[in-house]
Structure 1
C-alpha cells in the first residue's frame, strides 16, 4: 500500500456559526435566516481537512483548548481523520466566527476574534510529524508559525504560506517561506492599498518574493492566478487560468481560499524535490514554475468545486468528485 504524503497545517482554528440570508442587514435591522450551520473553521483547519480529503496524512497545529466549542472542533477533526496538536494553555478561549452568506450570490460577511494579540510571538519549539513532506502556515499564532517554519527549513521541507492578509510579523515569517500563495486582499504595508493594476501586481509579487519565498502566487477569486518564480538569480512568470462557472451554480464562497491553500499543500507534498526551490538546493526556475503551475492548476479546480457546494467542505460529501480531484493531484 502506498504511504500517504504527510503534511502539517499550522494556524487558526475557530468554530463557525454560519447563517444564509437574503441580504446582509443594515444598522438596527433584523433579518430572518434561511438556514443555520455550526462547524469547525479557520484557514489552517480547513486547509488540513482539504489536504486529508485529497489523500494526505494531515496534522493541525493550533490552539483549541477546552469547553463546548473546543469539544465540537476536536470531534470534527477526529471525524475527518486530522491529527490535532493543541498548544492552548488554560487561559485560551477558542475564537468563534459569525458568518453571513448571501443567498443567490454566495458572498459572505465574517466577524471573528481570530487570534490577534492573544498568544506569544516568540518562536515556539515545534517538532514536525515524522515524514512531513510539506508545511502550511496561515500567519495566525505567529509563535507556532515561526517554530513550524523554522523546523521545516532545518529539515529541508517546503513551507507554504496562506497569505490571506498582511499580519504583524509576516515579514519575519516570509523569510522562512518557500511558496507564498496570496489572496487578492493582501497588500504590502508600504505598497498601494487600493485596486491594483498589472504593474502593481508585478510589484506585489516581487516585493513579497524579496522577503524570502522563491515562488509567489496571487489568486483573484474567479480571475487568473499570477505566479512569479525567482531562483538562482533568474525569474519566470506564469499564470493559471481558473475554470469559469455560471453564477447561478455558485452556492457559497466561504472558505474557498482555505480550500485553495489546502489543495496547494497537498500538491506541494507530492512534487519531486527537483521542482522545488529550497535553500541550499538551487533549482532551474523553469522546472520550479512548471511544478508550481501544476499544483496550483489542480488547487484552483478544487476551490472552484468548493464554491458550488455549501460551506468550505460541502464538496467533500461528493465521493466521485473527491476521487476525481485526488486523481488529478496524483496524476
Structure 2
C-alpha cells in the first residue's frame, strides 16, 4: 500500500448550505449544516485515504476542544494524524463556508494558521513514498520538502515559503490565481517557467488543466458536471493526483503526467457533483 505524507493545514469547517448569499445586515436561514475537518492538506489526505492510500497528516491541532472535531473526523476517514502542537490551548483555525444551492459556488471566511508557530518534531517526519505540502506551517513545509522522496506542492496562493520548497518539488500544482513574484507575465507559460519544477500544472476551475513537463506541454479538458458544491474540489484534485503519481490502483499504471491529471480531474468532478464535505466519498471507485 502506498504511504502518503500530507503536511499542512487542518481546520474546523462549518459548512452552511443556503438558497441565496445574504447581503449586508441580512440574516439567512441555512438549508443544511455540517461540521468537518478542512484545510488543503487535510482534505487532500481524506481523498487519498478514500482512494486506498496509507495516509499520515502532519499538522497542528492542539488541546482545545475544537481540535477533537478535527481528529475524530480525520481518523474516521482513515487518516492518521501527527499533531506537532499537542499541548497548545489555542483554538485551531476555523472556516465558515457558505455554499449556494443550485450553483455550488461558495464563500469562505477563515482565519488560517499564519500566526501559529510550530516546530518540527525532534524525531523528524515519517517516511513516505510521496509527500504533499500546502505551504501552511512553513517550518513543517520546509522540513517535509527536504526529507521527501518525492514532493508534490499544492500552490493555491503565493506564500514566501514556496521559494524554499519549489527547488525540491517534482510536481507543483498551481491554481490560475497563483502569482509568482518572478513571473514575467500573467500567463501559464510564464508561471511554469518561474516555478521551475520538472512538472508544473495549472488548474482553471471548469476550464482545461494546463501542464508543462520540460519542453512538453498540453491541456486536459475538464468534463462538464452539474456543480452542486465546489468547496474543496481543488484539494480533492491534489489528493487524487498524489495517489495517481504513486502508481497504485484504482488508476491505470501509466507514466504520462497527463494520465495522472485525467484521473485527478475525474475525482474532483465527483467532489463537485455532491453536496457536503464527506458524502461524495461514497461515490469514489473503491480501492483494490
- TM-score between the two structures when normalised by the length of structure 2: 0.92
Distance 2:152 2:125 in 1: 15
TM-superposition CA deviations, 1:151-193 (whole Å, max 9, x none): 11xxxx1100011111122211212211001112111235479
- Residue pair 1:255, 1:311 contacting (<8 A) in 2 also: no
Contact 2:96 2:109 survives alignment (8 Å): yes
CA RMSD of aligned residues (A): 2.0
Q: Deviations over 1:61-82 (max 9, x none)?
A: 0001112211011111111121
CA distance, structure 2, for counterparts of residue 180 and residue 126 of structure 1: 27
* 1:302 corresponding residue in structure 2: 267
Matches within 5 A, 1:39-54: 39-54=36-51
Match for residue 167 of structure 2? 175
Q: Aligned residue for 2:251? A: none
1:141-180 alignment runs, 5 A limit: 141-152=137-148, 157-180=149-172
User: How far apart are the structure 2 equivalents of 1:109 and 1:215?
Assistant: 31
1:101·1:109 contact (CA, 8 Å) conserved in 2?
yes
Structure 2 unmatched runs, 5+:
249-253
TM-fit CA distance, 1:60: 0.2
Measured in 2, the distance between the counterparts of 1:61 and 1:262 equals 15
The answer on whether the counterparts of 1:126 and 1:147 sit within 8 Å (CA) in structure 2 is: no
Report how far residue 103 of structure 1 moved: 1.1
Match 1:255 to one of 232, 237, 245? 232
Structure 1: 5+ residue stretches without partners: 272-286
**Matched residues in 2 for 1:127 and 1:22: separation?**
47
Aligned to 1:34: 31
Deviation track 1:2-40 (CA, whole Å, cap 9, x = no partner) reads xx1000000000000011112222222211111111111
Indicate the SS of the match to 1:114.
coil
Higher helix share: 1
Residue 127 of structure 1 pairs with residue 124 of structure 2: yes
Aligned length: 282
